A and B are shown apart, each in its own frame.
Chain A
Amino acid sequence: MALAPTLHGPRLNRTQVVEEVRKGKAYSHGVDAKGNPLVFVCSRNFDPRTRDLATALRATIYMVDEAMRLASETSGQIAIFYDRTDFSASKNLDLALIKAVVSTLSANYPERLAAVYLYPAGGLASMILRMVSPLMDPRTVSKVHLPTSETGLPLTPTPTPTLSLSLSLSLSLALTLRPDFVPHRNPGPPAHLGGAPEGAHPRRLRARAIRRHLHLRVRPRGVRARGRVSRVRYSSWACALALGMTRTMCLFVFLCVCVCSLEWVPCV
């Protein structure tokens, strides 16, 4: 495999960059529905404890350069697919690297970003995007997409079977790729094993799943046997509400930090 000598130099440790690339944090694979080369960013592979910021930044620049080389054959723009599957905020949140990459790309790669796809994105993310969109540049807002289901994904209907990274590191990266990154729907257990009956309304199924989840996590053992069902329910929902609010607040603060660090976006 040949690594293009793009970033070779006295300020760069080639071995470290190769190691960073092999971690699979980002890789170029295929094109989106508009033909823009897709750069996948796997948030689950980020670990701020095991990386050197400068090296990680160089490796990211290398990957972006390779994607730009692909994009030069088409529109000259790339699309970023931010894969949040198996993301853990405590383990994988690397704000320093995100901030460095964002500021570097914003200042040096203007008008190179065609779209950003954040997947999986829940309703809360789209709600927050709607809230902060008046504060953002309209061009930026139009580039952010939050697909909530597989049908909203920007992938071409028949993606190329080969891992056409067209990078010099394709073979080494192919070992870290997950072509099946799209999570499949879990049908859940059958009815005779405690699952939902067939034909039930989806909203009822979801409510049932939520109730079961709350009972399992919040209800203290033996309380129902003493006949304090109403109090248990109240405490369960109160705890759930508190937990939900805490998570919402954390997510909101996190998004505010992201938006503050996304000052690059208007010029991308």
Chain B
Amino acid sequence: MAAPTDKQIHSILNSGAEASSPQLQEALAAAEIELKAALEVGSTSGLEEKALVAANLDLNDSAMLRRFLVARKLQIPATVAMIEAHAAWVEQTYPITLPEVLEIQPQP
């Protein structure tokens, strides 16, 4: 079976299909490989984004990559930019994972 074209992918996505949709698996698999390669290169020439992505995100998490791909309708440059921004946000929001546990007293 031939791979779906961009127009077909758009129509599938607009019909409400999710990343787990079987119609998208083939296109998603190809886009995922392309995305990983693009993330290694980075959207810009700076090394900072690449380092952020490598430090904060698990690029072997296929489900995560596919969710980002579906959100950007399988467009690689837009997905790379989104993932890099997400890595920067993770770096800013979750700076420390403390081993301690905070005890909260329930309200009376």
Contact = CB atoms under 8 A, between A and B. Distances in A.
B71 A110 contact: yes
A209 to B, nearest CB: 39
A111 B93 contact: no
Contacts of B107: 22, 172, 175
A138 B16 CA distance: 8
Looking at chain A's contact residues, the main secondary structure is loop
Nearest to A106: B71
A169 B104 contact: yes
B98 interface: yes
Interface in A100-139: 104, 107-108, 110-112, 137-139
Interface string B64-97: 0001101110000000001001100110111111
Contacts of B101: 2-5
Contact of B71 (A4, A6, A22, A111): A111
B91 to A, nearest CB: 11
A218 interface: no
Q: How large is the interface on B (under 10, 10 to 19, 20 to 34, 35 or more residues)?
A: 20 to 34
Interface string B41-63: 00000000000000000000001
B54 to A, nearest CB: 18
Contact of A2 (B19, B89, B99, B103): B103
Nearest to B100: A5
B2 interface: no
B72 A171 contact: no
Contacts of A77: 18
B13 interface: yes
B96 to A, nearest CB: 4
A268 B82 CA distance: 12
Contact of A8 (B89, B102, B104): B102
A1 B96 contact: no
Contacts of A112: 67
Interface string A177-218: 000000000000000000000000000000000000000000
Nearest to A57: B93
B22 interface: no
A268 B15 CA distance: 15
Contact of B96 (A9, A76, A108): A9
B104 A111 contact: no
A18 B13 CA distance: 39
B5 interface: no
B14 to A, nearest CB: 4
A10 interface: yes
A60 to B, nearest CB: 12
A117 B83 CA distance: 28
A10 B70 contact: no
A175 B105 CA distance: 13
B96 A111 contact: no
Contact of A139 (B16, B82, B85, B104): B16
Interface in B12-30: 13-16, 18-20
A110 B14 CA distance: 15
A133 B94 CA distance: 36
Closest 3 CB pairs of A and B: A110-B71, A267-B71, A111-B67
Given A107-B86, A111-B19, 11 more contacts: A1-B106, A2-B102, A5-B97, A8-B96, A61-B93, A104-B89, A111-B18, A112-B67, A142-B16, A175-B106, A267-B72
12 contacts: A3-B103, A6-B97, A8-B96, A9-B96, A11-B92, A58-B93, A76-B63, A139-B14, A169-B104, A172-B104, A172-B107, A267-B72
